[in-house]
Amino acid sequence: MRKVLLHRPFRHMFMAQIIALLGTGLATVALGLLAYDIADGNAALVLGAIFTIKMIAYVTVAPIAGAFADRLPRRGTLVTLDIIRALVALALPFVTQLWQIYSLIVVLQAASAAFTPMFQATIPDLLPDEDDYTNALSLSRLAYDLESLISPLLAAALLGVVSFHALFVGTAFGFAGSALLVGTVLLPAVVPGPSRPIYERTTRGIRLYLGTPRLRALLALSFAVSAAGAMVLVNTVVIVRGGLGLPQSSLAITMAAFGLGSVVVALVLPRILGRVGDRPVILTGAAIMGLSLITLALWTGVIGLGWGALLVCWVAVGAGYSAVLTPTGRLLRKSSNASDRPALFAAQFALSHACWLVCYPLAGALMTKFGLITSLLCLGVLTLVAMMVGWRLWPNPDVDIVTQDRPDQSAA
């Protein structure tokens, strides 16, 4: 991993990612507390609605942005989108009504839906060597994991001296710092594809994605990630604050447990991927997530809900989460050429978040109507079913070159 950090353009992009993610992590904690403060006992439903709005923006905007990504200047576009996100974050401390939250979230997440796939698609162009790219993916996953670990702890420390509204200011600084760092990097130009009608350009990435056997399996496994992840992201605040009656700082620590499991796996995964390959790692990670949720449901039903058991379960879910998500970029790179890569990354972004669009409101509704045990069981079973679908769809053995079910291209 140290080698890729010596690559100056990647290092600056990686630092930009870390700073932006720290700010986003502060916003995640702040939004949960804002929802709990405004929603009058319906925090799970409000958070479910917020995350649903986020997913709708991702699903609708990402394919459109991906269709035109090879026609836009990368650096200028990324910097502009970061500035938009910073301005929205600065407005969030002043909201007093739910509709205001929802409106700002639409703008924020639309900008993120355009930013993230373009950002991700630049990394394989910066690092053409596969080993370097694998290490970069692990560092990227590690950045997400450290955000899950450090941001809640930072939020907990800040909440001791300021109100949660101030956390949104930290989010704005994160996006502004990201814009400054991206602005220092000379990014390689995108290889433009052939001129195509707008409809074909907008849907091409999704058609390429669904025409690739391993990526159809990845879509099922993305649903597994969404089912388990929605349980953590939507319902942790309700479990900790409502079910266990613990203070705000305990919410941050519980979210950090999820990040800890992810960090550990991200650190060891490059070596494991080199030995056993993507397929067994991803399938095992999905199984761990589903079994962990079901185990916590059974534990709670027999012994009762305890903070220690919740922390252990969240660590395990975080480990499985990282095992599924870290190799995703490798699969996309194997399944695309340079001109199709931005559209394919955008398709993965949109389709995976379509899974979240289903699971976020489902997690909130299950928790509100049926309680913790039923939520854990239902989402745990869904995770395992999605894992089995992915296992059936993914060719074994999987080869680097896959002929895709489409008339105009084979992916390398």
Report the distance separating Cα 405 and Cα 228, nearest Å: 30
Nearest CA among 305, 284, 306, 286 for reference residue 371: 305
Using the predicted structure, report yes or no on whether residue 250 has a pLDDT greater than 50.
Answer: yes
**318 — pLDDT class (breaks 50, 70, 90):** very high
Structure tokens at 99: 């509709």
Residues of the chain with pLDDT > 70: what percent?
Answer: 85
Q: What's the pLDDT at 412?
A: 36
The whole-chain average pLDDT of the chain stands at 82
Q: Which one has a higher pLDDT value, 217 or 410?
A: 217
- C-beta separation of 66 from 205 below 8 A: yes
**345 — pLDDT class (breaks 50, 70, 90):** confident
Hey, what CATH topology would domain 2-393 get? Growth Hormone; Chain: A; (1.20.1250)
Helix (H) / strand (E) containing 28: helix 8-38
Beta bridge partners of 402: 411
Query: What's the predicted TM-score (pTM) here?
Result: 0.74
Using the predicted structure, report yes or no on whether residue 410 has a pLDDT greater than 60.
Answer: no
Report the distance separating Cα 14 and Cα 180, nearest Å: 13
Q: What's the pLDDT at 10?
A: 85
> Of the ranges 147-151, 217-221, 352-356, which one carries the lowest mean pLDDT score?
147-151
Q: What's the pLDDT at 1?
A: 61
Beta bridge partners of 269: none
Q: Which one has a higher pLDDT value, 161 or 303?
A: 303
Cβ-Cβ contacts under 8 Å for 130 (sequence gap 6 or more): 330, 333
Beta bridge partners of 411: 402
Q: Which one has a higher pLDDT value, 323 or 207?
A: 323
Tens of pLDDT along 82-130?
A: 999 999 988 888 887 777 888 888 888 888 888 887 887 788 778 777 7
Q: Which one has a higher pLDDT value, 145 or 355?
A: 355
Nearest CA among 411, 382, 377, 355 for reference residue 52: 355
